[in-house]
Amino acid sequence: MYWQQDIETLSRDRLEKLQLERLKATLDLAYNSPFYKKTMDENGISSDSIHSLDDLKKIPFTTKNDLREHYPYGMAAVPIKQCVRLHSSSGTTGNPTVVLHSQKDLDEWANQVARCMYMVGIRDTDVFQNTSGYGMFTGGLGFQYGAEKLGALTVPAAAGNTKRQIKFIRDFETTCLHIIPSYATRLAEVMYEEGVDPRKNTKLKIICIGAEPHSEEQRKRIEQLLGVKAYNCFGMSEMNGPGVAFECTEQNGLHIWEDYVIVEIIDPVTLKPVKDGELGELVLTTINREAMPLLRYRTRDLTRILPGNCPCGRTHKRIARFQGRSDDMIILKGVNLFPIQIETILMQFKELGSNYLITLETVGNSDEMLIEVELSDLFTDDYSVLQGLTKEIIRQLRDELLLTPRLKLVARGSLPVQEGKAIRVKDLRKII
Ligand SMILES: [Zn+2]
């Protein structure tokens, strides 16, 4: 049940000892990059100033902005000649971020992804279809190399073209998928429309869902629709991509591989560490990457450490599913909330479909929230029943959000669908 039993079940003492060794080596390496040379010199830090993992706090944070300002090669810790791949973010605002990889980095990354996939039961006898975009998006090549390393027959189907995806799933007898959660429900809907029952007419059994925050309720829905087990995966391009953290078969938190990264959770305002179990911003330090180490990188992702040991026997810490990025937080009428809180409520109603859209708009002098959600197929068009349902959903939303949104139940298929990441929030507010 383990890809690398020795490392996955290493005692905490030995794991932390390994982290300290690797942290010191990483600092020596990072000093070769123009950015970290300057930071370390200014703060009087070298590997000699690190005596325990607690000394990590002496090192300043690294932010996305630092990556942008040192675009493209200012973070490189090895000569560019030694790098064999570059991934870059889309950079819709300002310079994109660049991550460089040596061959060793790519081998380690593939191992990390293979470890995750093995953990959820994927084996070399499986057919793994990857519906991620390829190219610069790390979900493509990241899963491709991981699945190949594992030995699965890997189908780089890439994103979109739902009918072709279904044909591949049937013809190639695909057993495992990597897919964005909103697209998984879309894929299931199209299957049913085409008369394909995923339980009877496909061999699907395991899917890896990630790249978009989603609620437990949405996961359950995907599992039910496709007749599979769905596992939550987390990655980010600055930390290579997929493989950073992944659920085990317990489906209770994501193991984060601490032989690859050191995990901290901080209060995003005071920047002080929060207690285990408290929500905060995830900060990661790479300790097994050579071309471009990152020290105390502020991910902007909000999560918490789950206390206690996992029954699966792995000793690496578990983090909770993501609330969203601190950038996704909606501030409406002074209330802070996340789209995933709304999704959690909506998905509890079997009368509702999986597609919804939140619009923030200015009405008169005040900001309002409109939630449009599609009805499921099963449901009635009886006006009084719909009215009762609307009332009940609003009541539950109000209890969760502490404000009252407007709610519109719409017919199935009337909201826009994306084959990539779903757009869940439209902000049309005017600044008054
Ligand atoms: Zn576990």
The predicted pLDDT at position 336 comes to 79
The predicted pLDDT at position 247 comes to 97
Q: What's the pTM value of the predicted model, to 2 decimals?
A: 0.86
Prior bond of 72 cis (ω within 30°): yes
Structure tokens at 27: 């600092």
77 found inside a domain? yes
**Are 103 and 200 contacting, i.e. CB atoms less than 8 angstroms apart?**
no
For residue 316, how far is its CA from the centre of ligand 1 (angstroms)? 8
The predicted pLDDT at position 416 comes to 87
Query: Distance between CA atoms of 62 and 39, rounded to whole angstroms?
Result: 10
Per DSSP, 129 falls in state E
Helix then strand then coil, in percent of the chain rounded to 5, is 35, 25, 40
- Beta strands 242-247 and 254-256: pairing type? antiparallel
For residue 267, how far is its CA from the centre of ligand 1 (angstroms)? 26
333 found inside a domain? no
Same structural domain, 100 and 215: yes
137 found inside a domain? yes
For residue 95, how far is its CA from the centre of ligand 1 (angstroms)? 38
Locate the DSSP E strands across 288-365.
297-303, 305-306, 318-319, 324-325, 330-332, 335-337, 352-363
55 found inside a domain? yes
Same structural domain, 152 and 260: yes
Single residue among 307, 327, 347 that ends a domain in this structure: 327
Single residue among 273, 297, 327 that ends a domain in this structure: 327
For residue 13, how far is its CA from the centre of ligand 1 (angstroms)? 18
Structure tokens at 192: 């049913």
The predicted pLDDT at position 94 comes to 75
For residue 326, how far is its CA from the centre of ligand 1 (angstroms)? 26
Edge to edge, what strands does the sheet with 261-266 contain? 261-266, 280-286, 297-303, 324-325
Same structural domain, 312 and 347: no
Single residue among 298, 327, 356 that ends a domain in this structure: 327
Same structural domain, 159 and 42: yes
The predicted pLDDT at position 244 comes to 95
345 found inside a domain? yes
332 found inside a domain? no
Closest CA to 178 of 213, 211, 227: 211
Domain that holds residue 407: 338-427
Per DSSP, 359 falls in state E
Same structural domain, 201 and 112: yes
Same structural domain, 219 and 93: yes
For residue 344, how far is its CA from the centre of ligand 1 (angstroms)? 24
Same structural domain, 95 and 185: yes
3-class SS at 366?
Answer: strand
Same structural domain, 311 and 418: no
432 found inside a domain? no
For residue 152, how far is its CA from the centre of ligand 1 (angstroms)? 22
For residue 271, how far is its CA from the centre of ligand 1 (angstroms)? 29
Same structural domain, 34 and 183: yes
Question: Which of the residues in the chain have pLDDT under 70?
Answer: 91-93, 326-327, 378-379, 419-420, 431-432
Query: Distance between CA atoms of 242 and 322, rounded to whole angstroms?
Result: 14
CATH number of the domain to which 394 belongs: 3.30.300.30
The count of domains in the chain is 2
CATH number of the domain to which 174 belongs: 3.40.50.12780
Same structural domain, 24 and 172: yes
Query: Distance between CA atoms of 322 and 303, rounded to whole angstroms?
Result: 5
Same structural domain, 172 and 312: yes
For residue 309, how far is its CA from the centre of ligand 1 (angstroms)? 8
Same structural domain, 359 and 212: no
For residue 112, how far is its CA from the centre of ligand 1 (angstroms)? 15
User: How far from 172 is each of 32, 155, 204, 385, CA to CA, in Å?
Assistant: 47, 9, 11, 44
156 found inside a domain? yes
For residue 66, how far is its CA from the centre of ligand 1 (angstroms)? 34
End-to-end CA, the chain: 58
